[in-house]
Structure 1
């Protein structure tokens, strides 16, 4: 059993038809019937012909999505349709791919589906699964954190049961005091370990905003605790240990942090690929375990933590080529028996090897591969990924543990740009309506007198100034909006707080539920001023 997301257009334009007709509806209006396609190459050729102006990356990306829609999705699989109402519909696929030549544009490529529930509140879906649903792709699989079983529960009207590997104990650490007591209760050789996500939840936060990071650091310092590695490093699902860093040394004269680090078995078991960060913490000059600043590491990308398909030294070149064709890959890592990178085989390297020797084997077609460490700064590798199309990722044992492609970067940064675009449109709409409806002298009255002369339009106002501007009865009346002022101002304040948090760097993604207030405010502003 598998679970998929199939969107109904970038703005949900096919949503009503999908729900009413019991269909999954792919767009790509220029494409004809794909019933006769058997391979990715068949679909790729059709996409390239229909969209001749698109480059190789886009053609490859669309090919992958359409191949899933036509061939990989199977009857009986679960499917999720995100709705404009910020609810989701869940259904079960009921038929194979069909092409309806006589249907309106955008409604021709279809899969029949039985909608089991059409109004699942996103608040009932835990943030890790919401994050997985946040891809900007139209068709993609939900494959992590036991997604299929959790979607099945939603289809039965039950709440999201959460990750099958969720730490039930961590869920009970509902406040810092409980965490402190648990650390103190444990023996030093059995430290408290939990994910950064669960650790942040102890303080009631979901992302590592600067203000939250500072508060947590101060609380830990006050209690003499330290996280290993620092909770500001790695992805939000990375594991950390919480130790009594300020406790006196044991009989051997070593601290809890050093004992954990020097015990290879314990460190590997508890911290895995975070071991390098542990060493940096212990070996840092000055002896004091300072907390690292928040950084955006390669490990923050989901694909950097997912073992890529590969071939081994000694495999045949035919094996590599078969996998590449079946999966639509451009390259494959070649690993030794210990999982370390020996090189990469690609269609280009295969072509070059065959030009030199038609009987070339895998070794002859293997070339040096680009390899990043999980703890590297992601920004340092963007140019390499852009130029080569990929970079492989290794863990602290120098074993391959992930693969980052240009597609991964596009999705990741597209997701991160979305909140900024959302807030920017809200601000633009506020500026336009204020400049159109409220005289300049009343706009200037919102700011301190010493700044009034510097205000030439609403563009010179801070976001927080709009609340004070709209609290003036004649200004609110000038807008002519038939909406509730109290609720609007509350939404405006919530958006202001969201915006302020957004302006501070955090390595953690913004979830759909965190976007809800701003998205709702934007929809309201669009409704009040539909022509702009």
Structure 2
């Protein structure tokens, strides 16, 4: 059994038909019955999509082909399907039929599969954030394959609580406040440090992202208790693991600290030794100097050991890996895991020009190498120019590799929330300027500033809420929607916008974007021609 998401249109336009008729339904109406019902391969569907949509490029055709192939062939009877609703509820069903084309149905409702809806009013709050985030793709048809999704969706469909990801840290969930964290570190013996993910560590303080204010509070709390995190909790991704050590505990009878004893022990797990060894080398001012920034370690790829070759390997081994994985370069490591250079298609070509029998050593060139604690922005130019940078840990061992593609994903993810909020503001400005007289717009700002207000563009985001609370202004918009729900959504978006203005190295999740996305979709529906 597998679990899928099949959306009902960008703005939920097919939701009612899907729920009332007991079907999964997708668009792509230019494709007729024979285009899909008679297909057996991806190439068949790709040809049909390309013929039906001749103005689309290869990327779009390939993307649509994958979604339609999943809908027609990969989804099986008995699979579970999730339908996120625009009401912010969720429907879950079980697939009962094969692909059908309904030629007589209304346009937009012709490509369907039968489904038995098991629940149609599941509150999103009952779904844990990791699974909810997985449902946030903008694709119409995609599989939920991570974090034990199928079993969890089945539990939700039966009215049971979301059991959470199979690899979840159940113990970390019991650390519900800082005092419990302190007590747990104190309870443990010196050779059994507490380790947990940064995500779970932040949850102890009730926060999800590393905003400066939250980070300063956590650092202050740790310092007051004589604790240290290794690596610093300001480095790495939210899923990176850290150890919490009693760095300030007094020396024992031998005159050594717990950190020094741990770092010098050979009988402990490697992860514990590494954590203690790193803590023993922290500078005195570390607690004061570690800040939240765009660290190299904030990228997932910086914490994922790259494929590599070793000094002395055959050049054919390197080229085979590069072709199989589609890599442009590979790190060349010594027996201790430290960087000795990089082999790339360019370096291979240059070596072979000089000697057609050139080996790996001849094709190895000096590689760009960044420390995981470095400021990522300092390396952007290098990555753009060379296409990559190898990442090393505090022991100078390779621990990751960042490419230009990783940068595109990182900063593209960061731009998206700002673009979304900007469109919301632009749409509010246009409708307010069009429907509400300037004198009433000026009435919501302090009298000393009123003369400087020439249009809605001069209003702060928060001022729109005050403006639209007024019954006369609300009626002027001519919107047939609930005023209180809209104002509540506007206030939630204002808070979201304000949070964007506070720096954090952690990305906004799809779940955190939902309120703003919902408001934007509502504004688009109310004023579709702007």
Q: TM-score, normalised by structure 1?
A: 0.74
Q: How does 1:314-333 map to 2 (within 5 A)?
A: 330=326
Determine the C-alpha separation between the residues in 2 that align with 1:380 and 1:513. Answer: 31
Q: Aligned pair 1:179/2:181, yes or no?
A: yes
**Residue 4 of structure 1 contacts residue 140 of structure 1 at CA under 8 Å; is this kept in 2?**
yes
Determine the C-alpha separation between the residues in 2 that align with 1:287 and 1:397. Answer: 22
Quote how far apart the aligned CAs of 1:75 are. Answer: 3.7
Q: How does 1:106-505 map to 2 (within 5 A)?
A: 107=109, 110-251=112-253, 253-257=255-259, 268-269=270-271, 279=278, 283=281, 285-290=283-288, 292-296=290-294, 300=298, 330=326, 406=405, 416-470=414-468, 475=473, 488-505=486-503
Partner of 2:7 in structure 1? 7
**Number of matched pairs:** 516
Quote how far apart the aligned CAs of 1:5 are. Answer: 2.5
**Residue 136 of structure 1 contacts residue 414 of structure 1 at CA under 8 Å; is this kept in 2?**
no
**Structure 1 residues 250, 435: CA separation in 2 closer, same or farther (over 3 Å shift)?**
farther
Per-residue CA shift, 1:202-254, capped at 9, x if unaligned?
22222222332233223223333222222222222222222233333445555
Q: How does 1:22-33 map to 2 (within 5 A)?
A: 22-23=23-24, 25=26, 27=28, 29=30, 32-33=35-36
Determine the C-alpha separation between the residues in 2 that align with 1:461 and 1:388. Answer: 45
Quote how far apart the aligned CAs of 1:504 are. Answer: 2.1
Matched position secondary structure for 1:493: helix
Per-residue CA shift, 1:343-376, capped at 9, x if unaligned?
9999x99xx9xxx9xxx9xx9xx99999988767
**Structure 1 residues 95, 137: CA separation in 2 closer, same or farther (over 3 Å shift)?**
same
For structure 1, which segment, 291-300 or 208-217, has the greater mean C-alpha deviation from structure 2 after superposition? 291-300
Quote how far apart the aligned CAs of 1:517 are. Answer: 3.7
Quote how far apart the aligned CAs of 1:201 are. Answer: 1.7
For structure 1, which segment, 28-37 or 12-21, has the greater mean C-alpha deviation from structure 2 after superposition? 28-37
Matched position secondary structure for 1:168: coil
Quote how far apart the aligned CAs of 1:126 are. Answer: 0.6
- 5+ residue gaps, structure 1: none
Q: TM-score, normalised by structure 2?
A: 0.74
Determine the C-alpha separation between the residues in 2 that align with 1:516 and 1:373. Answer: 35
Matched position secondary structure for 1:508: coil
Quote how far apart the aligned CAs of 1:74 are. Answer: 3.9
Determine the C-alpha separation between the residues in 2 that align with 1:418 and 1:171. Answer: 31
Q: Aligned pair 1:38/2:41, yes or no?
A: yes
**Structure 1 residues 502, 120: CA separation in 2 closer, same or farther (over 3 Å shift)?**
same
- 5+ residue gaps, structure 2: none
Quote how far apart the aligned CAs of 1:194 are. Answer: 1.8
Matched position secondary structure for 1:194: strand
Determine the C-alpha separation between the residues in 1 that align with 2:385 and 2:8. Answer: 33
**Residue 23 of structure 2 contacts residue 112 of structure 2 at CA under 8 Å; is this kept in 1?**
no
**Residue 35 of structure 1 contacts residue 98 of structure 1 at CA under 8 Å; is this kept in 2?**
no
Matched position secondary structure for 1:427: helix
Determine the C-alpha separation between the residues in 1 that align with 2:38 and 2:236. Answer: 44
**Residue 136 of structure 1 contacts residue 411 of structure 1 at CA under 8 Å; is this kept in 2?**
no
Per-residue CA shift, 1:306-352, capped at 9, x if unaligned?
789999989999xx79x96xxxx756998999998999999x99xx9
Quote how far apart the aligned CAs of 1:67 are. Answer: 4.7
**Residue 260 of structure 1 contacts residue 267 of structure 1 at CA under 8 Å; is this kept in 2?**
no
Matched position secondary structure for 2:166: coil
Alignment RMSD (CA, Å):
5.1
Q: Aligned match of 2:93 in 53, 67, 91?
A: 91
Determine the C-alpha separation between the residues in 2 that align with 1:140 and 1:405. Answer: 27
Determine the C-alpha separation between the residues in 2 that align with 1:51 and 1:370. Answer: 44
**Structure 1 residues 400, 508: CA separation in 2 closer, same or farther (over 3 Å shift)?**
closer
For structure 1, which segment, 155-164 or 260-269, has the greater mean C-alpha deviation from structure 2 after superposition? 260-269
Per-residue CA shift, 1:444-490, capped at 9, x if unaligned?
34334443333222211222233444456665565566766665544
Determine the C-alpha separation between the residues in 1 that align with 2:385 and 2:464. Answer: 45
Determine the C-alpha separation between the residues in 2 that align with 1:99 and 1:331. Answer: 42
**Residue 84 of structure 2 contacts residue 91 of structure 2 at CA under 8 Å; is this kept in 1?**
yes
Determine the C-alpha separation between the residues in 2 that align with 1:377 and 1:56. Answer: 37
**Residue 36 of structure 2 contacts residue 72 of structure 2 at CA under 8 Å; is this kept in 1?**
no
Quote how far apart the aligned CAs of 1:185 are. Answer: 2.4
Matched position secondary structure for 1:432: helix
**Structure 1 residues 500, 418: CA separation in 2 closer, same or farther (over 3 Å shift)?**
same
Determine the C-alpha separation between the residues in 2 that align with 1:28 and 1:389. Answer: 41
**Structure 1 residues 262, 119: CA separation in 2 closer, same or farther (over 3 Å shift)?**
farther
